[in-house]
Structure 1
Amino acid sequence: MFCLKTYIAYRTDFTLGVTGGIQNFLLVVNPIPSALLLFGIALYFRGKLSYWLMLIIDFLQSTWLFANILYYREFSDFLSLGIIKGTGDVQNNLGKSFVQILRPGDFIAYVDIVILILLLLFKVIKIDKKPFKKRFAFLITILSFVLMFAEYNVANADRSGLLTRTFDNNYIVKYLGLNEYAAFNIYQNHQESQTRANAKVSDLKGVQKFINQNQVSPNVQYFGKEKGKNVFIIHLESFQQFLIDYKVDGKEVTPNINKFYHNQHTIAFDDFYHQVAQGKTSDAEMMLENSLYGLPQGSAMVSYGAQNTYQAAPSILDEEAGYTSAAFHGDVPTFWNRNNAYKSWGYDYFFSDSYYKTKPQYNIGYGMKDKIFFKQAIPYIQQLPQPFYAKLITLTNHYPYELDKRNTSFPATKTGDNTVDPYVQTAHYLDQSFGEFEAYLQKSGLAKNSVVVLYGDHYGISNNHRPAIAKLLGKKSVNKYDLAQFQKVPFMINGGNLDGHIDHTYGGEIDVLPTLLHLLGIKNNHMIQFGHDLLSNQNQQIVPFRNGDFVSKQYTKVGGTIYDTATGQEIHPTSSQKKTINNIQKYVDDSLENSDKVVYGDLLRFHKLKNYKDVNKKTIDYNKKATLKKLKEEDKKKKTDLIDQNGGKSTINDFKTDAPELK
């Protein structure tokens, strides 16, 4: 019964991409070896105790299956030890999200336990009090290991290097099973801890060689074009590229962002992809600030945010050009371990929930509503010494896409999918919020001396909503290529010295930092960064995904399928094409592997940049009282903030909002 329900879950709740006789066979049998091993533990005990132990073991395995069903439905991935360890950092409203995800059929995970208890209570199954012979119990344990070994060999024959190369977690579950995936994940976490402990200075040489071999020169047309300007990073939560210029019932979902996208001073990239894995938003921030990939499992910000050494955007801009840095977030500072990771990255200030006035109606979902958040950020923005680097993280356009009626002024889509349909409503609210903030930048005068960057952190609609995605895109159905293209997110840079245009260069979040540094006139050829300047003529235009897939200007790889990127047609590569594809794959694998070496081994502690001092985290304090005191002290020294430029007058009244909660 346990194996049967697991197989049903494989087929109905997970998208494992099973093809061919071997894969189908392995999917049927892969629950058996670990089930024999774990249930077999109870056979070493006698009487009622063995029966109770079997039920407890069944319950624990069932709960693991149940938890993965829920997690996979929203995140298209399986739970990992890194995610479980980081639950305390991301738990705000998580329970509420799971209630939204939950379906009655999910409880099939426990159906065998209920049946077994009933059979025991009604004595259909009678308890045999005689002890099971130890040698037979031992033989079952041995049998389970033999079956595991046989299963692995068959799987590895079908998918070479299954556990030694960077693969999607779907592969491990498809070939080996959910319990084996959990065991392998625990082993990986142990190996990661050992890697850091055993890392040496020499380990950095291979990484530097890879970086040097793939270095690109800045485009002289753009290098230093926006030197010395303030930088605003507007983090568009769960915002996908398809929303740009998208209409529902003839109405634009995002009219303000559309206007910004097409502005005469905006360079907008329409072939830009998110590259996140399990870390989702934290992965996006890791790439954006460090040009380092997130981890294959868990969140680097959670697992390595506090102890690792980084050379991140805030500290680079401070060391190279005297920038002040600040992050703004309308929720608890512990979310994704930001309170520790931001210190490691060198953020001078972190304005989290305690800095804002709160009322129950000000918050929804994962934190403060965007309109209220932007308004309450102004008093701190106007006090930042210039030039500054400021990141504002929006929250309202976050699953489960809830919005109260008085803020809902846009029609939902009509796909019939309750998760998907309200997505455009919260996206519209986010757009209105950005419009109000952009109007403030213009009126306060900040826009003249600022670069404004908008980017989407990750998908809002996961690939598990295929019928709804097809309807959104006006298609009868979607294939793997369509889903890969659906993972595009916005990336646009607006600056007064830029000639605006839509740029078709293929890139991803890993490329943001090098692109931005070059625009600000800062060379990165001596830094450890895995992205490339998207404005460089030497850019290879390869976008690696965390699972080893990729998109390039020529080819798109999803799983084992290759597509022509321009046409979307599946291709069967010629020998010449295979050579090109293999070269791209090698670059992708090497890029991910070397980035992982840096994070797991904390290798940047060995990397010394000229005239650059590592961040001293002990000098950074995000306590509100300490922050406000520091702002006053900095103002006395520099006199460069917006208030000073405005003749000592506040600009708070320059921000206008129609938020009903503030009327």
Structure 2
Amino acid sequence: MKKIGNSIRQGLNTKMGFFLLTVFLFWLKTYYAYKTKFNLGVKGGMQNLILAINPIPTILILLGVALFLRGRKSYVVMLVIDFLDTTWLFANILYYREFSDFLTFTLIKGSGAASTNLDKSIANIVRGSDFLVYADVLLLVLLLAFHVIKMDMRPFKRRYATAIELLGVFLFAVNLGMANSDRSGLLTRTFDNNYIVKYLGLNAYTVYDGVKTQQNEAIKKKANASDLKSVQSYLKNNRVGDNASYYGKAKGKNVIIIHLESFQQFLIDFKWKGKEVTPNLNKIYHESDTLSFDNFFNQVGQGKTADAEMMMENSLFGLPEGAAMVTDGTTNTFQAAPAKLSQMGYTTAAFHGDVPSFWNRDNAYKSWGYQYFFSNEYYKNKASYNVGYGMKDKIFLDQSSKYLEQLPQPFYAKLITLTNHYPYLLDKKNASIARTNTGDDTVDGYVVTARYLDQAIGEFMTWLKKTGLDKSTMVVFYGDHYGISGNHKKAVAKLLGKKSFNNFDDAQFQRVPFMIHMEGLKGGINHTYGGEIDALPTIMDLLGVKDDDTIQFGQDLLNPDRNQTVAFRNGDFVSPTYTKVGSTYYDTSTGKVVHPTGAEKTKVEKMTNHVATELSLSDKVINEDLLRFYTPAGFKKVNKADYNYKVSYGKKLLKKAQKKEPTSVLAKNDGKSDTDLYVTDAPELKK
């Protein structure tokens, strides 16, 4: 035994021995992270084998670089590479925990546009066990520092170092071959980063993402008008038109879009300890003049809120990497709802209780044609008025009324709530319902902030009635994305009183509210399957705006002939018949796994191809900036230079509008404000 120990020690005292130890420890911690920190959907012996070997090729190549160096440099570079790669792994663990996805270069490049309060979010995400990935780095440093392992100062033969690099390349080729045999078209037909990591490893995914990012930048430069033909052909063959009984029912009405931050459909009618969590929204949901959709899904990717806004206002999907509002919002050509409606006589405005640069809104909104953008710079502010990602909803909506009443009618206004945002923080004086008791901090605070948001909505809707705006306004409510990610399955199962919560359940859990409320509207609960991509065509048809020649990938939710296959950003889908998660198909009505054969197989393959086509063509529109080559009839291209969101300019513009277009609530009241009719119980505002 002693002899074996001496042999191992002697082996570790060689550069090759230390290299192999470093490789082994890196493999061990990476595999540990794969199995415990990520949810990669590994099934069967082949996928488990691929997962086990995929960290090895790239780490051989990376660490092998150090073998070309002499003396201490070789050891130092090896440790530095190990540390940097570990930090990348650590960062992805944190990001994945909340967003069920991996970091991309596009996302990192645009991180400055979404960095506010991230320190609070990270503090809630980090777990002690995450730091175990650094254990091997620390161990190796200590082994060298205390001379348990001695540095081998002899030069490592260059041909051996080259052989190790070639071995890494060969093993990667083998890995890629195995991956392609199990998942054909892995690098050409995937919209899910989980697949790349599962089959090729995190390092290979990083290279893949970097190459793809560079390719996308090059594609935009090469694009021309002919590239739009395939998009137009697809849309022409897939248009379904409007619903004649609803078309134009809201013509000339104001439109208020209320963005319900992180709000999921399950909260509607949900009770905790005998109390309705969202009584105000429940009431609106069930009213006879509200069109409510109970099978409406969020379809966001990494951009989350930004992706939801992209779909709601453009009927274009967010990108598979990063947020299009950040990467393309400043430079691309868009034909968004605010621009269309402003050219038809609407006043258009967005309201957001945080910094204007968040998600690059101060630039993207100009590209979309918003005339006004009321960011936190327009609001009276104190430290107590804010929580998490911006101004508390009650205070935000109360102060927004001052600007809303000044907008010339008809207007199109979007109000973005923020309090119901991860990590679901709220002080005790504002909490009016008990936390749930799943034992998961993320889940347990969710009902508290959701109740607060609901109360804020109740106050706002009461004000609309007092001013009479409720009679001339169509109010649209939508949830932008999930509030509880698929990484909290046990807690969600407990919350919903279910025995388990699997991937199928998580796909169904992506439902978010979509409600259209207007006096005199023939309402009811509509069971059609749809998603955020369909919101814009639905709203435009209600307003009586023709959009036959627009580049939009959604369909009017009120048309009974519409395609009810709802695409998720990663290529999965839900429909009334089948649900696809990864490579598994489920019967939507039963939740049971199905193995399609014959006609059934043809049907699900057609649905899968439909989803892939929609996503790829939408990506093509954004990545190649194709709208610069096409202008719909009657639409005037947006000139971003026409817009200025500075407070002084915005207030001056509003003041002029009261005289030039005296159709606002304020103007009709002969300059008398109705903000005194706004009643809120926000404790911060009580004298």
Question: Same fold by TM-score, threshold 0.5 exceeded?
Answer: yes
Q: 77, 82, 90: which one pairs with 1:53?
A: 77
Q: 1:634 Cα shift?
A: 2.1
Q: Which residue of 2 aligns with 1:511?
A: 534
> For the residues of structure 2 that align with 1:5 and 1:640, how far apart are their CA atoms?
65
**Counterpart check, 1:462 vs 2:485:** yes
Query: How large is the Cα RMSD of the aligned pairs?
Result: 0.8
Q: Which residue of 1 aligns with 2:35?
A: 11
Q: 1:417 Cα shift?
A: 1.0
Q: Unaligned 5+ residue runs, structure 2?
A: 1-24
The C-alpha deviation readout for 1:203-256, integer Å capped at 9, x for no partner, is 001000000000012111000001010000000000000000000000000000
Contact conserved, 1:235 with 1:393, CA < 8 A, in 2? yes
**Counterpart check, 1:546 vs 2:597:** no
| DSSP-derived class of the 2:546 partner | coil
> For the residues of structure 2 that align with 1:510 and 1:168, how far apart are their CA atoms?
19
> For the residues of structure 2 that align with 1:540 and 1:389, how far apart are their CA atoms?
28
Q: 1:431 Cα shift?
A: 0.2
Q: Which residue of 2 aligns with 1:376?
A: 399
Contact conserved, 1:368 with 1:396, CA < 8 A, in 2? yes
Q: 109, 116, 129: which one pairs with 1:105?
A: 129
The C-alpha deviation readout for 1:593-634, integer Å capped at 9, x for no partner, is 100000000000001212211111001000001111111222
Q: Which residue of 2 aligns with 1:28?
A: 52
Worse-matched range after superposition: 5-14 or 564-573: 564-573
Equivalent runs, 1:628-643 vs 2, <5 Å: 628-643=651-666
Q: Which residue of 2 aligns with 1:235?
A: 259
The C-alpha deviation readout for 1:365-423, integer Å capped at 9, x for no partner, is 00000000001111111111111110000000011101001001101111111110110
Q: Which residue of 1 aligns with 2:16?
A: none
> For the residues of structure 2 that align with 1:591 and 1:459, how far apart are their CA atoms?
22
Equivalent runs, 1:320-399 vs 2, <5 Å: 321-399=344-422
| DSSP-derived class of the 1:292 partner | coil
> For the residues of structure 1 that align with 2:576 and 2:428, how far apart are their CA atoms?
44
Q: Which residue of 2 aligns with 1:482?
A: 505
> For the residues of structure 2 that align with 1:166 and 1:227, how far apart are their CA atoms?
41
Contact conserved, 1:222 with 1:519, CA < 8 A, in 2? yes
| DSSP-derived class of the 1:465 partner | helix
| DSSP-derived class of the 2:486 partner | coil
Q: 285, 310, 319: which one pairs with 1:261?
A: 285
> For the residues of structure 2 that align with 1:444 and 1:542, how far apart are their CA atoms?
41
Q: 1:646 Cα shift?
A: 2.1
Residue identity matched to 1:473: L
Equivalent runs, 1:407-422 vs 2, <5 Å: 407-422=430-445
Q: 259, 269, 282: which one pairs with 2:306?
A: 282
> For the residues of structure 2 that align with 1:486 and 1:647, how far apart are their CA atoms?
49
> For the residues of structure 2 that align with 1:340 and 1:347, how far apart are their CA atoms?
10
The C-alpha deviation readout for 1:528-556, integer Å capped at 9, x for no partner, is 00000000122111100111111112111
Contact conserved, 1:226 with 1:497, CA < 8 A, in 2? no
| DSSP-derived class of the 2:443 partner | coil
Q: 1:116 Cα shift?
A: 0.2
Residue identity matched to 1:499: K
Q: 1:567 Cα shift?
A: 2.1
| DSSP-derived class of the 1:556 partner | strand
> For the residues of structure 2 that align with 1:266 and 1:273, how far apart are their CA atoms?
18
> For the residues of structure 2 that align with 1:175 and 1:467, how far apart are their CA atoms?
26
Q: 1:574 Cα shift?
A: 2.7
Q: 1:461 Cα shift?
A: 0.4
> For the residues of structure 2 that align with 1:211 and 1:114, how far apart are their CA atoms?
56
Contact conserved, 1:66 with 1:106, CA < 8 A, in 2? yes
The C-alpha deviation readout for 1:426-454, integer Å capped at 9, x for no partner, is 00000000000000111011111000000
> For the residues of structure 2 that align with 1:546 and 1:184, how far apart are their CA atoms?
18
Q: 615, 627, 632: which one pairs with 1:604?
A: 627
Q: 1:136 Cα shift?
A: 1.5
**Counterpart check, 1:137 vs 2:161:** yes
> For the residues of structure 2 that align with 1:633 and 1:135, how far apart are their CA atoms?
78
**Counterpart check, 1:247 vs 2:265:** no
Contact conserved, 2:301 with 2:307, CA < 8 A, in 1? yes
Q: 1:648 Cα shift?
A: 2.4
Worse-matched range after superposition: 633-642 or 287-296: 633-642
The C-alpha deviation readout for 1:10-52, integer Å capped at 9, x for no partner, is 0000000111111111111111111011111111111111111
The C-alpha deviation readout for 1:452-481, integer Å capped at 9, x for no partner, is 000000000001101111112211101211
Identical residues among aligned pairs (%): 59
Residue identity matched to 2:431: T
> For the residues of structure 1 that align with 2:327 and 2:240, how far apart are their CA atoms?
31
**Counterpart check, 1:182 vs 2:206:** yes
Q: Which residue of 1 aligns with 2:495?
A: 472
Contact conserved, 2:105 with 2:210, CA < 8 A, in 1? yes
Contact conserved, 2:241 with 2:555, CA < 8 A, in 1? no
Residue identity matched to 2:314: N
| DSSP-derived class of the 1:464 partner | helix
Q: Which residue of 2 aligns with 1:623?
A: 646
After the TM superposition, list the runs of 4 or more consecutive aligned residues in structure 1 that deviate by more than 4 angstroms: none
**TM-score of the superposition, structure 2-length normalised?**
0.96
Q: 1:578 Cα shift?
A: 0.9
Q: Which residue of 1 aligns with 2:184?
A: 160
Q: Which residue of 1 aligns with 2:196?
A: 172
The C-alpha deviation readout for 1:26-79, integer Å capped at 9, x for no partner, is 111111111011111111111111111011100100000000011111111111
Residue identity matched to 2:673: S
> For the residues of structure 2 that align with 1:271 and 1:78, how far apart are their CA atoms?
28
Residue identity matched to 2:597: T
> For the residues of structure 1 that align with 2:172 and 2:574, how far apart are their CA atoms?
35
Residue identity matched to 2:487: N
Q: Which residue of 1 aligns with 2:326?
A: 302
Contact conserved, 1:237 with 1:458, CA < 8 A, in 2? yes
| DSSP-derived class of the 2:507 partner | helix
**Counterpart check, 1:434 vs 2:434:** no
| DSSP-derived class of the 1:306 partner | coil
| DSSP-derived class of the 2:97 partner | helix
| DSSP-derived class of the 1:264 partner | coil
Contact conserved, 2:235 with 2:551, CA < 8 A, in 1? yes
Residue identity matched to 1:620: Y
Q: Rg larger in 1 or in 2?
A: 2
Q: 1:635 Cα shift?
A: 2.1
> For the residues of structure 1 that align with 2:555 and 2:576, how far apart are their CA atoms?
15
| DSSP-derived class of the 1:475 partner | coil
**TM-score of the superposition, structure 1-length normalised?**
0.99
Contact conserved, 2:290 with 2:524, CA < 8 A, in 1? yes
Aligned residues: 662
Contact conserved, 2:538 with 2:558, CA < 8 A, in 1? yes
> For the residues of structure 1 that align with 2:483 and 2:113, how far apart are their CA atoms?
21
